[in-house]
Chains A and B, each alone.
Chain A
Amino acid sequence: MKITRRILLTGAAAIAVMGSANTALALSESDAKDHVSKTLDDLLALLRTPGNATSRAPRLRQIMETRANVPQLAKFSAGRVWREMSGDQQSRFVDAFSHFISITYARRFDEYSGDPKIALGRSRDAGRKGWLVETPINLPNGEKAAVEWLVSDRAGSTQVVDLIVEGISMAVTQREEIGVKFKQRGNDVEALIKDLKAAI
């Protein structure tokens, strides 16, 4: 009886401690929104600088590496291939992946040229995955695009972990695409890294 009580008490204390630790760690909605807003400022500034996909890609890469968790995105995109890579291959893969997505998105970025109107919309709590913040865009041609950012602090600092455009997740889409590239190169990690790095 006594033992049971002690165990219960210890258990309760432990839960209380864990609980408070969790609250201290959990990302707040306003922090998530603030992070998205800063990311948008960076991106819009880049969009206003004259140039094309090739000239914008290096700066876009900087923004992504500052505001998003690129290594984790690379690991997720590699899927099961990640475990087949050596430590050295993993770090070269992250570098090549970062280059590849900055080129890909700089090209996609061209479609938003002009002066798109972007607003911070509502945000939803996605539990341990983080906060999903909406930033609807009105394009200069009158069309609208639904854009959402998944923000998390699970890696220690506040970072974007996914970008969702009209329901299409960048992380999921990259994962599918990297899977294809790997297969098409006969499951050759080095060939995959080389081709990602060579993307222009």
Chain B
Amino acid sequence: MDVRGGSGVNRMANRPVTTLLYVAAVLVIFLSTCSPASALPAFARKYGMPCSSCHEAWPKLSPFGQQFKDNGYQMGNDRDAPIFQNPAYWPVTFRMTPYWHRESTDKAAVDQTASGEAQVTTHGFDWSGLDFHTAGTLANNYSFYVLPSSDNTGAFHFESVWARVDNIAGSSWLNIKFGKFELDNLLSEKRILTLSPVGGFYENYHFQPFLTPGNRESSYTFGIGDNQDGIEWMGHSKNDRTRISAALISDNDGTPGLPTNRGYGGFFAASQAFQLGSMGLQRVGGFAYIGQQPTYFQYTTGGAGIPGTGIGNQRIYRVGLIGMWYLKKFDITTMYFHSGDNGTLASTTALTGAPPPPPSVTGARSPSWNGGLFESHYNLNPQLILINRYELVRMSQQVFATNPGNLGNTDTLTFGLRYYPFISSRAGFAYHAEYAISRIRGGSPVTFTDVTSSSLLGGIDFDF
């Protein structure tokens, strides 16, 4: 759920496994996750409003939906508290997606060829996992969100678990959220409009550089697109034009049970929206994550690390700028990313009971990279949206000077459309079609050459 296919792509590719296993892992990760976005007919039913009020095309939020969310799932029209609802009202929504898809990669490691690689393509009918969204208000200015989410075998985990005190002291600038939640990403990966293993995630939200050709960093996992455990302060102007937030999170990528360390990180985001004539509401903003990850375990037992005792923390950071530009029915989101990891952390292959050798010994450097995202939509009408996205990642410094300069550079291109045959306040239904292709420089674990993967997906996305 929290790691859509794409982040899985990278993580799997960073290990010395065959590309076939890599493709299989991608599919398993994708299929084990379900559509993460929050499009809640339960809200529509509560307020009697069509999905299109809060979603430009669900699950993508409209400014009105963003305001509703930021205000603690409240319209402010006195219909917010549960006491005003029919006693039978139950704020639950489920979402699932049956689909057909075709997956292909040109550098799958196989036993049957001399080079050890071959193009592998597979296709067939399939289905996603299941999301049970339950969210709303407990009383005026007390909101919550609980999201049990399953893989496609029905094994559940908790994707979101939080409560929020809203409008403290009557101020929209004082809202406190506590639990496991999505970071305040303006371009929400949980509301992404694409679903495929290649195109169903934001590459820049999860990218981690390669340690050596065919082998990514593997000592930690973190993605700003993943839900995180922590506490968040968020404030916004009454009309939501100005938004600002700061979160303190445990650096465990949203995993329960303190699996590795006791480190904390901070995420900060701010944005400002403004009207540009009749073009629409434009928004610009920035974000920064500064965190830390352990490099070894303070204590081990039987050679295995005792969970939560990871120490020797080293920093990682992710910063970026975002612009969301509307030209009437056409909009484009532009993002710039800059990220970096500490050299010791980047060159650590696995946490053990001893400190890893320092960069002065290994020759490791602190890797850094830049990224860009261009996502455009043409919202022909509330029922039809065309989607295009291009993402790129470019390394500016490799972990080791011996690595090719372009190792890990990634390009991903995605096209899609979603058609909503009816707009209702009771349920959501979308015909979904998508094609995505990506290329990772030096991603092949066998020949260390470029890997190209593609997804073709068509399905029915529905929630109720």
- A-B interaction: no
Residues of B that sit less than 8 Å from A by CB: none
**Contacts from A to B (Cβ < 8 Å):** none
